[in-house]
């Protein structure tokens, strides 16, 4: 925390939101009046690479630290919201095959929600990180009318996460894996160039959204192709992983290669949202992840390109909204807290 004045003390009972990531945990506190008590990131190391026991202890430390920072007595906490990267079940059991941040065997099938609940002796409500960000975007955008609306969110990061919110609540699915929007296969006509190889995803699919609209998609599929079209580009001399991470900076400077890559990403998300329009007909389409961290002119260009490539009927255009997920890196923890609040007092 850089600014002490952005910390408030609770005026009622509260819930805590914990966002677990590959490097850091982010924590927040939400009181019963709907006010967040911190306006900045409050982080501690997540220690997920040290295994489940260390990671759960790090989450417990994040919980204790945020209560101390906001001067919140433990007795005021009614529930804790937790989010982690997926895939995981609706109840917070990591996939039996592991996940991006949980690749050690000790994580396979580990009940992280249950372990944290036992450690804190307090109810813990689980969502994956894409769903948590989607839930926060929905409630932040619609406010008191959240229960009357639906939304779809695409969260662009290392992969492509997201979430579907219906009547103000996350659609979880039978196994808890609804909203895995990155693995929806899309029509590629109008997205790829003539002769451009069909992108492949690490999940084994070809032509799904994540194979294009993700950092992994840039590294594995888009950038190798576009560097053949721009062989003298400065990134051609960099290792591909380094070049992929540097590409957004070039996009902010309107570099032609970068705009070609990010234009394809935006078109792919537009195809995804077109499918959503015909499947759920949502009130709003939200875009989050790394692109939200970019310079304002670039992220607005990206959002506009997504909108232009989302094929809506006139009736849908009249009522649908396109917007960026607010509050950037805080969206996960805040969405986790919103879910915890709803578990105490259904929204």
Give every CB contact of residue 48 below 8 A, 6+ residues apart in sequence: 20, 21, 22, 55, 101, 102, 107
d(CA 247, CA 260): 11
Torsion sign over Cα 27, 33, 114, 132:
negative
In the chain, beta strands by DSSP E: 14-20, 24-31, 43-45, 77-84, 124-128, 150-156, 160-166, 169-170, 284-289, 321-324
Q: Which of 210, 206, 310, 224 is nearest to 260 (CA)?
A: 224
Q: Which residue has the tokens 């699919």?
A: 205
pLDDT by position in tens, the chain (length 347): 444 457 988 889 999 999 998 899 999 999 999 999 999 999 999 999 999 999 999 999 999 999 999 999 999 999 999 999 878 888 999 988 877 678 789 999 999 999 999 999 999 999 999 999 999 999 999 999 999 999 999 999 888 988 999 999 999 888 777 888 999 999 999 999 999 999 999 888 999 999 999 999 999 999 999 999 999 999 999 999 999 999 999 999 999 999 999 999 999 999 999 999 999 999 999 999 888 889 999 999 999 999 999 999 999 999 999 999 998 789 999 999 999 999 997 65
pLDDT attached to residue 5: 53
Q: Where are the domains of the chain?
A: 14-135+330-343, 145-325
Task: Give the pLDDT confidence score for residue 44 in this predicted structure.
Answer: 96
Tokens read off for 142: 């619609």
pLDDT of amino acid 173: 85
Same fold, 14-135+330-343 and 145-325: yes
Residue 149: per-residue pLDDT: 96
CATH number corresponding to 145-325: 3.30.420.40
H helices of 204-292, in order, are 215-217, 223-229, 240-252, 256-279
pLDDT at 3: 43
For residues 336 and 347, what is the distance between their CA atoms, to the nearest angstrom? 14
CB 13 within 8 A of CB 74: no
The pTM score is 0.91
Q: At the topology level of CATH, where does 14-135+330-343 sit?
A: Nucleotidyltransferase; domain 5 (3.30.420)
Which DSSP string do the residues of 271-328 spell out, in sequence order?
HHHHHHHHHT--SEEEEEEGGGGS-HHHHHHHHHHHHHTS---HHHHTT-EEEEPTTG
């Amino acid at each position: 925390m850089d600014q002490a004045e952005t910390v408030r003390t609770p005026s009622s009972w509260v819930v805590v939101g914990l966002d677990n990531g590959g490097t850091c945990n982010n924590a927040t506190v939400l009181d019963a009046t709907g006010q967040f008590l911190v306006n900045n990131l409050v982080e501690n190391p997540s220690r997920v690479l040290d295994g489940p026991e260390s990671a759960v202890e790090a989450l417990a430390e994040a919980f204790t630290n945020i209560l101390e920072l906001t001067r919140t007595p433990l007795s005021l906490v009614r529930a804790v919201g937790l989010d982690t990267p997926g895939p995981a079940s609706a109840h917070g059991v990591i996939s039996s095959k592991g996940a991006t941040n949980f690749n050690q065997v000790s994580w396979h099938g580990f009940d992280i929600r249950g372990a944290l609940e036992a450690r804190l002796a307090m109810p813990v409500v689980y969502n994956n990180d894409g769903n948590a960000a989607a839930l926060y975007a929905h409630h932040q955008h619609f406010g008191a009318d959240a229960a009357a609306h639906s939304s779809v969110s695409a969260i662009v990061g290392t992969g492509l996460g997201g979430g579907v919110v219906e009547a103000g609540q996350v659609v979880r699915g039978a196994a808890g894996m609804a909203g895995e929007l990155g693995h929806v296969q899309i029509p590629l006509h109008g997205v790829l160039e003539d002769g451009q190889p069909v992108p492949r995803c690490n999940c084994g699919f070809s032509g799904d959204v994540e194979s294009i609209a993700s950092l992994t998609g840039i590294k594995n599929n888009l950038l190798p192709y576009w560097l053949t079209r721009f062989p003298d580009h400065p990134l051609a001399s960099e290792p591909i992983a380094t070049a992929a991470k540097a590409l957004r900076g070039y996009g902010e400077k309107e570099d032609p290669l970068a705009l070609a890559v990010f234009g394809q990403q935006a078109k792919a998300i537009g195809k995804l949202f077109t499918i959503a329009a015909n499947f759920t007909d949502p009130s709003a389409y939200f875009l989050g992840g790394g692109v939200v961290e970019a310079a304002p002119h670039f992220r607005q260009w990206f959002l506009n390109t997504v909108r232009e490539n989302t094929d809506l009927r006139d009736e849908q255009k009249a009522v649908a909204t396109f917007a960026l997920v607010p509050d950037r890196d805080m969206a996960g923890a805040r969405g986790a807290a919103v879910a915890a609040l709803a578990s105490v007092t259904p929204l």
